[in-house]
Amino acid sequence: MGALLLNPTPAEQEFSQAFALARPGLPDAADRRQAFERFARAGLPTRRLESWHYSDLRAKLRTAPPLAGKPDDASKAFAKSELEKHARESLKLVLIDGFFSTELSDDFSGVAGVKIRALSALPSDAPILALMRDLSPSDPLLDLNAAFAQDGVVVEIAEGLRLEKPIEILALCGANGGGSRFSRNFVALGEGARASLVETRAEGVGGFGDSALFLVLGKASELDYACRAENGAPVEVQNMIARLDGQAKLRATALVAGTPFLRRQIFATCAGEGAELNLSGASLLRSKEHADATMVVTHEAPGCVSRETFKYVLADEADGVFQGKIVVPPHAQKTDGKMLCRALLLSDSASMSVKPELEIFADDVACGHGAACAKLDAAQLFYMESRGIPKVEAQGMLIEAFAAEAFDIMSDDSMRDLLKTDLTALLESGIFA
Amino acid sequence: MLDIENLHVSIAGKKILDGFSLKVEAGQVAAIMGPNGSGKSTLSYVIAGKPDYEVTSGSIKLDGVDLLDKDVAARAALGVFLSFQYPLEIPGVATMTFLKAAINAQLKARGEDEVSIPDFMKRVRAAAAKLNISQDMLKRPVNLGFSGGEKKRMEILQMALLEPRFAILDEMDSGLDIDALRVCAEGVNALRSKERGLLVITHYQRLLDYIVPDVVHVMSKGRIVRSGGPELALELEKSGYADYASEAA
């Protein structure tokens, strides 16, 4: 084993060394080795890999921070103090450096129909592990995650269950926040179940993160999912893999801010007839922040609906990326797919890269995409100012209105309110002042 | 009250106001009439402080305070209000949020306390009822999908709530049918007071049947070319603007 690339970067070499060291202690050795070999053959993605064209991870990740270990007492104490900042009405599942902490998580024993386990507690022949492998598309960062991830949380929601309170996966960092963190989380909804899920990624400060979240929606189940990515690590990759059975509905949004270099990749498949997938996101970036949302939506079954609505607000030299691909194989007739990306550029030095793609092999479909980049509307600003609203406040109101539209896809009002409250707080904290 | 002296204004190098002077006293309603392109809308924008216009010389003072060195919001806080010829739609911003932000921003600029929510609701409801503005309209984003008449009524509602010292009505009658015109004009007339000055900009005499001015000015080629009483508007209605276009040339 070892690096298979001709000229590995220091980071690639360090990942190889880390893997060689860690492997003897990790379960599922064969799968991990295969995953790592795939990663090592491809290396960290560069602009030459089309799907990574606008996020040059190889250039960005010069060195691989050491693997974050299982949280010690100091890390648990640190995470516990961090947890206090996240007092919200939710059923919390806490990860520290990617490791599931039962101590800090809420007690689910009284919540009938919801089964919570640590990923590391699954037997190596667990069908969930096989399912996660099967659902994973080929991608170097997903391979890296599969090679290194030691833990995460597994949530199974029983058939027909309607959860009132949202479940929140809260990813915190330990006392030494500078490591490489890998977590692998899995949420499955049984037939007809309905739930809301918040993922709050507050690992921040340092290091490197490469997390994966698998969402498996059974027949006619419904999930509202919101990812809150605020104050991210210097380099972070978030993977979301979703599969929807027939008539299932997934509404997934994200609020992204304060991320020096974030790549969110979404791989979603409408696997059963009549599934409805609604993806959105609002990214608010400044200074040299970079946020990339890249998604592949595959309509495996006929008669499915997919929508993507992504908003970017870019100040200073911030850099936004949207790549959306809708894939419709020949048998997926009556597919209805629409993709929209809109960016608001607050400075001349901000940049936005947009690449929508439609790959359609069926003949009876309605698919479309649109993209627009613009400045704040001067006429609207003048109108608001003429009523006495100072310019900065008027700009804030227009930005908020623009970004908040991404959250309208949530059907759970409390989720929408949570995101809008976050958005207002972000703007009031003066990120664009 | 409002005192404009020898104002010269250009946009993109083109001269629009050319030595424009005007005084409006407190309690007075002044009408400005004039042909297309005479500079009427520019005048309203320059008083309100719209960017893009270059004021090369002259002054605009409200109660002796120079407006030209103030930004748009500061002018509004001093009491300037412009009812837009074409009010803007602002998707995503709720009307009530917008109204409250405007009222509170002006109160804050004057060093006063913010309006309480119950007081605010009460004032909006009372003012809206007088202008036939439904609760449903108030729940929508600012002007979004409103008809021309609804937008103009919303302008008058804002004027009623903001209680400006000096208000400019830029072609309030455009896009209004007779009934809507009457409702808007009644709204404006209810706001006439000894302390408030009004500048009514229009092409047509018809509006002045509803909002009867104290003085009528005729504007052509960027300046006032004639002034008189309400009868001047009637005369213009008969003779048209042809004479004035040549007078200013």
Kindly state the helix (H) or strand (E) to which residue A185 belongs, with its residue range: strand A180-189
Q: DSSP label at A35?
A: H
Minimum CA–CA partner of B99 in chain A? A387
Q: What is the mean pLDDT of residues A387-411?
A: 96
What contacts A422, CB < 8 A, 6 or more positions away? A228, A230, A255
pLDDT for B145: 93
- What string of DSSP letters covers B129-156? HHTT--HHHHHSEETTT--HHHHHHHHH
How near does any CA of chain A get to the CA of B49, in Å?
A: 8
Q: What is the mean pLDDT of residues A297-315?
A: 98
Contact A386 B71 (CB under 8 A): no
Minimum CA–CA partner of B93 in chain A? A401
Domain map of chain B by residue range?
2-248
pLDDT in tens, B84-126: 999 999 999 999 999 999 999 999 999 999 999 999 999 999 9
Q: Is A351 helix (H, G, I), strand (E, B) or coil?
A: strand
How near does any CA of chain A get to the CA of B142, in Å?
A: 10
Q: DSSP label at B192?
A: -
Minimum CA–CA partner of B87 in chain A? A383
* Residues counted in chain A: 433
On whether any CB of chain B is under 8 Å from the CB of A393, the answer is yes
Distances (CA, A) of A300 to A218, A275, A308, A309: 15, 10, 17, 21
Model-level ipTM above the cut of 0.85: yes
Higher pLDDT, B203 or A297: A297
Contact A397 B98 (CB under 8 A): yes
pLDDT in tens, B179-230: 889 999 999 999 999 999 999 999 888 899 999 999 999 999 999 999 999 8
By Cβ distance, the residue of A379, A391, A397 closest to B73 is: A391
Q: Which residues pair with B177 in a beta bridge?
A: none
Could you tell me if residue B145 is left (phi over 0), alpha (psi between -120 and 50 degrees) or otherwise beta? left
Task: Spell out which residues of chain A touch residue B48, defining contact as CB-CB under 8 Å.
Answer: 382, 386
What does the alpha-carbon distance between residue A277 and residue A275 come to, in Å, rounded to a whole number? 7
Contact B77 A388 (CB under 8 A): yes
What does the alpha-carbon distance between residue A47 and residue A54 come to, in Å, rounded to a whole number? 6
Q: Specify the CATH number of the domain B2-248.
A: 3.40.50.300
Give the Cβ contact number of residue A123 at 10 Å. 9
The B-side interface with A (CB below 8 A) comprises 48-51, 71-73, 75-77, 81-82, 84, 87-88, 90-93, 97-98, 101-102, 105-106, 109, 141, 158, 162
Alpha-helical (H) ranges within chain B are 40-48, 72-78, 95-109, 117-130, 135-139, 148-162, 178-190, 206-210, 231-239, 242-248
pLDDT for B245: 62
Helices A140-148 and A29-42: angle between axes, nearest 10 degrees:
150
Q: What values do phi and psi take at A6, rounded to 5?
A: -70, -50
pTM: 0.91
Contact B88 A380 (CB under 8 A): yes
Cβ under 8 Å to B: A residues 404-423:
404-405
